[in-house]
Chain A
């Protein structure tokens, strides 16, 4: 079946603009995660959703970052008033449930803020 998909693949924006990044998880997966990977570094947890429970937002770096998951499926990560330090690859993953299930990753969105 189809894996996790993310769009756009690449996004270039100007400082101060808002951007939306989209994630389509694997069908049936109830858990969805967002990570950020800065150049040459590991992945940094941002947020995760599990079913209808309140999301764990503890990794969001500032109030300019927000995410929602509509209908328990597609998720959108929004960055308002982008800054140059927001430039990174944003990776989405999904799993059958939270806990210790394998997370399946999408190909990521490379965000460049000029």
Chain B
């Protein structure tokens, strides 16, 4: 069984600042992927970034990067130069075919 835990129900950040969202997971699989999805009020789930568990190098997508600590089963998301459009619910997920999601972190970006 897999579990994903996001311990921060809500976070806020000032525009242009940096924020880190936390995620821990537990899995019995040896080959798995980790994901961060963003869900704005429109309900549309949008992939932000993906990390292959077998890769040690942390994934980066423009202003978004992850800190993947495999031994600690930790997968945090860093958003640099935060923008108003980054405000959304962020979900961490792990798995392959069937994804297991955390309960989400609501990010507010203050102008």
Q: Which residues of A contact B (CB under 8 A)?
A: 31, 33, 35, 40-45, 48, 50, 56, 58-59, 89, 91, 93, 98-100, 102-105, 107-108, 110
**Contact between B98 and A59, CB atoms less than 8 A apart:** yes
A44, A99, A105 pick with most chain B CB within 10 angstroms: A105
Count residues of chain B with CB under 8 A from any CB of chain A. Answer: 24
**Contact between A45 and B91, CB atoms less than 8 A apart:** no
A107 CA / B93 CA spacing, docked (Å): 18
The residues in B between 61 and 89 inclusive whose CB is less than 8 angstroms from any CB of A are: none
Q: Which residues of B contact A (CB under 8 A)?
A: 4, 6, 32-33, 37, 42-47, 50, 52, 91, 93, 96-104
**Contact between A43 and B101, CB atoms less than 8 A apart:** yes
Q: How close is B109's CB to chain A, nearest CB, in angstroms? A: 20
- Other CB < 8 Å A-B pairs besides A33-B97, A98-B96, 17 of them? A31-B97, A35-B99, A35-B101, A42-B6, A42-B101, A42-B103, A43-B93, A43-B99, A48-B97, A56-B98, A58-B98, A59-B98, A93-B45, A99-B96, A102-B50, A103-B99, A105-B44
**Contact between B96 and A48, CB atoms less than 8 A apart:** no
Instruction: Pick from B47, B52, B100, B101: contact of A100, CB below 8 A.
Output: B52
Closest to A104 in B: B47
A-B contact pairs, 19 of them (CB 8 A): A35-B99, A41-B103, A42-B91, A42-B102, A42-B103, A43-B99, A44-B101, A45-B98, A45-B100, A48-B97, A56-B98, A89-B43, A98-B97, A103-B99, A105-B37, A105-B44, A107-B43, A107-B44, A108-B43
